[in-house]
Structure 1
């Protein structure tokens, strides 16, 4: 094993160039690639981000390989945030240019656009929002859900139903109080009848606007980073985001890949959901600290971290204590 990183019972986090690591995978073997690449921001970030002028071609190089590695029923999900053009308060179109090239050049189909609203987002960009007060803060990312074949693409929305509202629960319990007439055609074109509206389907179909706060503050990952004086990854997405798409688009035992692993939120989520997974991350420091998500205690966390930083490879045992400790998929 020449890799730097670690493996668990179901997956591997590998320090390496995703372009090279992706090529090692068998064509048509991946069920889902879900990732959040570095955004095309004007200000350079420590985790690395491409210039806006080069960004579309750069990201689509990964898309070309992902297309080959996906199964015919597989999906490619990209969380991609917005940015402003340099020196002026006008919005860049780079994420939409990515969308067009992925579809028109590489061959993906846009299964459906999603949008992630982070209600805890801080006001940005600073120049146009905080200082000059010319724009509202940006709190919504585009999330492109691509597939190879929309007729074959694996998806089951019943796996990601949302809890019914209080009013809907009352309607299901006693439809006569809410539906006075049966089989009434609404102005929207929907037929309103008691039988269909009062049926309990286990939850409501979710919208394509996903609202998850990105306000992690006391997770095991961050606690160990603080205790061991290790700087955590500054641009993590909440576990709820990959969780939604992993549940929606895969089954247990399927292979989930993250090509910009960061702190390996996707890998931890996939492991908890009993999916096989691979996570690729170019930074050795981020790979090493991401092992905190799978460490059973502080001593193990420090040992794993030091071994990976020394170019080592860690095999985390089959004990489930280390894999699942301090992690709640239902937490929002």
Structure 2
């Protein structure tokens, strides 16, 4: 039986190897798996990452299990960063090898590729960008959207982008700002595009800075003297896909949860969620995302480290319940 490290009104966080935890879930029970695994970088990171040579096979072990657990109209969204080959200013092909293996061998469909641009990312890698100045700053991650069938649940009207000021003026007075013309292709645009649809269709280039320096999670880590997870993605990234690909009360799962940004975002959006994280200290600190000012953060953190289950709705631990 799966025992969560902590739970909230809508979700639960579990500590363990995601491969083992996934096996315990019923098939066709998860609407969206949204995650960012450790990347295949040349240098070993403190949060754990596989070498480029072993990475594709390692990641595929998780993907095979995910395929069985998502619903027929469900989605698997994975943020995967690029890397350079060791000692050379040429790019590794591991993200593309993973993509091809997921589709050709596991059976996923590539619904669409997205690109997450992080404007605040520091110039890297240092050797090629800062020292020798022969490459540009690597500030884009690929985000693969996989589906079990060609027809996953999706509604782009839930993620419309704000209109530009010019578009707002055009909608208010189309005659003043635009005269319909037939394009060279023969396509007649007409005036239909001047209708107010509540926002613009977003592109598959998503630009979100990753600069969180405060908030409950970071302040909670400081309060108990622990370092925050070093590889967090911004909440706007899972927010986009949760809104786009799920409905209220759908189940969202992150299999490399880290600081559990996905779970917090799902909770705020009225979805059910699960978070799987192998390192207990990361899971314990992620509980700070769901605490309030009256909570004893040291008690929360240490209780989860000891293996107690905390219900953050009632503020009881498994020990309290069993006494």
Structure 1: runs of 5 or more not aligned: 320-332
With normalisation by structure 1, the TM-score equals: 0.92
With normalisation by structure 2, the TM-score equals: 0.95
Task: Give the aligned partner of residue 297 of structure 1.
Answer: 293
SS in 2 for 1:105: helix
Relative distance call for 1:2 and 1:101 in structure 2 (3 A) is: closer
Residue of structure 2 aligned with 1:263, choices 253, 256, 259: 259
Residue of structure 1 aligned with 2:271, choices 272, 275, 281: 275
Shift of 1:4: 5.4
Structure-2 separation of matches of 1:189 and 1:261: 50
Task: Give the aligned partner of residue 146 of structure 1.
Answer: 146
Residue of structure 2 aligned with 1:203, choices 179, 199, 210: 199
Structure-2 separation of matches of 1:40 and 1:315: 35
Task: Give the aligned partner of residue 173 of structure 2.
Answer: 174
SS in 2 for 1:168: helix
Asked if the contact 1:13–1:287 (Cα under 8 Å) also holds between the matched residues in 2, the reply is yes
What do the CA deviations read for 1:283-325 (whole angstroms, capped 9, x no partner)?
0110000001001127432211110011111111169xxxxxx
Structure-1 separation of matches of 2:43 and 2:253: 28
Shift of 1:189: 5.0
Task: Give the aligned partner of residue 54 of structure 2.
Answer: 54
Residue of structure 1 aligned with 2:246, choices 250, 256, 275: 250
Is residue 188 of structure 2 the alignment partner of residue 191 of structure 1? yes
Structure 2: runs of 5 or more not aligned: 316-323
Asked if the contact 2:33–2:76 (Cα under 8 Å) also holds between the matched residues in 1, the reply is yes
Asked if the contact 1:243–1:269 (Cα under 8 Å) also holds between the matched residues in 2, the reply is yes
Shift of 1:132: 1.5
Asked if the contact 2:4–2:12 (Cα under 8 Å) also holds between the matched residues in 1, the reply is no
SS in 2 for 1:116: strand
What do the CA deviations read for 1:224-262 (whole angstroms, capped 9, x no partner)?
111221111000000000000000000000000000000
Is residue 226 of structure 2 the alignment partner of residue 230 of structure 1? yes
Relative distance call for 1:172 and 1:307 in structure 2 (3 A) is: same
Asked if the contact 1:113–1:208 (Cα under 8 Å) also holds between the matched residues in 2, the reply is yes
Relative distance call for 1:177 and 1:298 in structure 2 (3 A) is: same
Asked if the contact 1:39–1:80 (Cα under 8 Å) also holds between the matched residues in 2, the reply is yes
Relative distance call for 1:221 and 1:168 in structure 2 (3 A) is: same
Asked if the contact 2:83–2:92 (Cα under 8 Å) also holds between the matched residues in 1, the reply is yes
SS in 1 for 2:296: helix
SS in 2 for 1:144: strand
- Equivalent residues in 2 for 1:153-168, closer than 5 Å: 153-168=152-167
SS in 2 for 1:74: strand
Count of residue pairs the alignment pairs up: 315
Structure-2 separation of matches of 1:175 and 1:291: 51
Asked if the contact 1:224–1:298 (Cα under 8 Å) also holds between the matched residues in 2, the reply is no
Task: Give the aligned partner of residue 322 of structure 1.
Answer: none
Asked if the contact 1:179–1:193 (Cα under 8 Å) also holds between the matched residues in 2, the reply is no
Asked if the contact 2:242–2:266 (Cα under 8 Å) also holds between the matched residues in 1, the reply is yes
Is residue 70 of structure 2 the alignment partner of residue 76 of structure 1? no
- Equivalent residues in 2 for 1:18-29, closer than 5 Å: 18-29=18-29
Structure-2 separation of matches of 1:217 and 1:103: 38
RMSD, aligned CA: 1.4
